[in-house]
Amino acid sequence: MSQQELTNLDCRGQRCPLPVIALARRLPELPVGAVLRVLADDPAAAADIPAWCRMRGQEYLGAQPSTTEPGVSVYRIRRTS
Amino acid sequence: MAFFDAAAGAPLHPVAAQALRAAQQDGWADPARLYAQARRARQLLDAARESVAESLSVAASQPVRADQVRFLPSGTAAAHAAVAGARLAQERTGASVVHSAIEHSAVLYAAATGPTVPVGVDRLGRLDEEAFAAAVRAPGVALAALISASHEVGTAQPVAEAAQAAASAGVPLYVDAAASLGHRTVPGGWSLLSGSARKWGGPAGVGLLVVGRGAPREDSRSQERTPWLPPWPGAEPGLLDPPGGLNLPAVVAAAAALRAVLAERETTAARLATLTERIRAGVAAGVPDVQVLGDPVRRLPHLVAFSCLYVDGEALQHELDRAGFAVSSGSSCTASTLRPSHVLEAMGVLSHGNVRVSLPRDTTDAEVDEFLALLPGIVAGLRAQAGAVGL
């Protein structure tokens, strides 16, 4: 697959279930194969984003702590369908 | 209208209420004194300890003697004492506590006062037995701890297998049995066991800690002594309970409730398991985008948990409360708790929109039916409010 353009979704400051709702709205707007980066500081997102990906059959690529902002994680999700 | 949060604290069993009133008349004196009223209190205390030992010999699958039973002010205090006392006795062996990632927070906090080795669970909330066995074999392990069954999702844990792994490593196993006692038989093989009376229909304010016979020696038929020392000040040989006034009437009521609950346990468990099974199936069928959590078979009979996608767990609790249903939630969609339940996190399941239903013994079919009839509309309403429709 060619290099994908990354789209960011800023969910900083949002509490559950808002980041997952935002993710569910945004991902279908991207082309299949595209990767969405979700920025979130809600600790529940660590459990809920991978769980949502499993329920919706989307590919969860993992999470990394933000290098610039403590407490914020960057979750990457690839739209597969 | 229904109380569906028995796992937080069940309503007082009628037998316990009766025993409590009687013991308040008869057992108010300090059992340590040397006069008639004190001797009467002493008799009540001794009888309660005998009764609990007898009950636990059945409920926790290994012989328990009365002098192994200690009464503490709560299940939390008992859990703290289990961990601290094992560390105290194991100073020369090590301080590390191996525990499942889904222990009750009382055990987690006690363990976190020193080095810990958490062991994960699978998606159903069942302990990774192999990782547990490997962790207890490492040097420097003072104690292994395993909850008898998850207090949040109900999954029964492989206690017998964990006990075997701990025994072969020469490590005592502590089982926090608070979620199970009175509901589901706890397998044997443990060295330390704790419980909480209000979770089996006894009064609040009574915890118990059993310091058992210890793991069998591999080379003989004798038993190791369980390495455990009282971690409280003023401990003396012959004094089982921590110093300070014991709530004797509550202890007497707790013992009576345990006996009564165990006498009817099989019938109650069978009936409640049918009702929770109906909830598992009814929620899965009636609510779209829901995860019904925990092991569907090896589980506590009275408890079921599920998570609803796109729903705020606290809002769901409030709506259910307004509809007359008392439930609890492991979600963190609120300002009061920042992190979601560590149990749901460890299982890797949806943590928001979480509901735990735990049925008291007198739950009726009609209450469950009403709950199942109301829930889909409440969830749909909350999703509509959040604009999470058609996602």
> Are A24 and B333 inside 8 Å of each other by CB?
no
Q: What is the average pLDDT score of chain B?
A: 95
Q: Nearest-CA neighbor of B380 among B287, B291, B306, B318?
A: B287
Provide, as residue numbers in chain A, all residues whose Cβ is less than 8 Å from the Cβ of B348.
Answer: 47, 50-51
pLDDT of residue A1: 45
| Interface with A, mutate which of B309, B338, B343 (most A CBs under 10 A) | B309
- Determine the 3-state secondary structure of B79 from DSSP: helix
Pairing of strands B303-308, B354-358: antiparallel
Q: Model confidence over B49-108: pLDDT tens digits?
A: 999 999 999 999 999 999 999 999 999 999 999 999 999 999 999 999 999 999 999 999
- How many Å separate Cα B326 from the centre of its chain? 19
Q: Mean pLDDT, to the nearest integer, of B135-156? A: 98
How much is the pLDDT for B339? 82
The ipTM of this complex is 0.93
Pick A1 or B119 by higher pLDDT.
Answer: B119
Report whether pLDDT(B43) > 90.
yes
Q: Which positions of A are annotated as active-site residues?
A: 16
Q: Residues B264, B270, B273, B279: is their CA dihedral positive or negative?
A: negative
Identify the structural domains of chain A with CATH numbers, from first to last.
Answer: 6-78 (3.30.110.40)
Q: Exposed e or buried b for every residue in B27-65, given b needs 16+ CB within 10 A?
A: bebebeeeeeeeeebbebbeebbebbbbbbeebbbbebe
d(CA B72, CA B105): 18
Cα B217 from chain centroid? 29
pLDDT score of B332 = 72
How does pLDDT run across B294-340, given as a tens digit for each residue?
999 999 999 999 999 999 999 999 999 999 999 999 887 655 667 88
- Can you give the pLDDT at residue B221? 54
pLDDT one-digit tens code per residue, A16-42: 899 999 999 999 999 999 999 999 999
Q: What pLDDT does B214 receive?
A: 63
- pLDDT tens for each residue of B358-369: 999 999 999 999
Q: Looking at residue B222, what is its pLDDT?
A: 53
User: How far is the C-alpha of B249 from the C-alpha of B320, rounded, in Å?
Assistant: 35
Domains and CATH numbers, chain B: 12-263 (3.40.640.10), 265-385 (3.90.1150.10)
Residue B2's nearest CA partner among B325, B260, B333 is B325
Measured between beta carbons, the chain B residues lying within 8 angstroms of A52 are 309, 350
The whole-number pLDDT of residue B337 equals 66
| Confidence band, pLDDT 50/70/90 cuts, at residue A6 | confident
**With contacts defined as CB-CB under 8 Å, which chain B residues touch A15?**
332-334
Dump the DSSP string for B45-61: HHHHHHHHHHHHHHHTS
Inter-axis angle of helices B159-168 and B129-137, nearest 10: 20
Please say if the pLDDT value at position A14 is more than 90.
Answer: yes
Compare all CA atoms of chain B with the CA of A22 and give the residue at the minimum distance.
Answer: B388
Q: What share of chain B is helix, strand, coil (3-state, %, to 5)?
A: 40, 15, 45
Between B225 and B90, the more confident residue is B90
**Nearest-angstrom CA–CA distance, B165 and B158:** 11
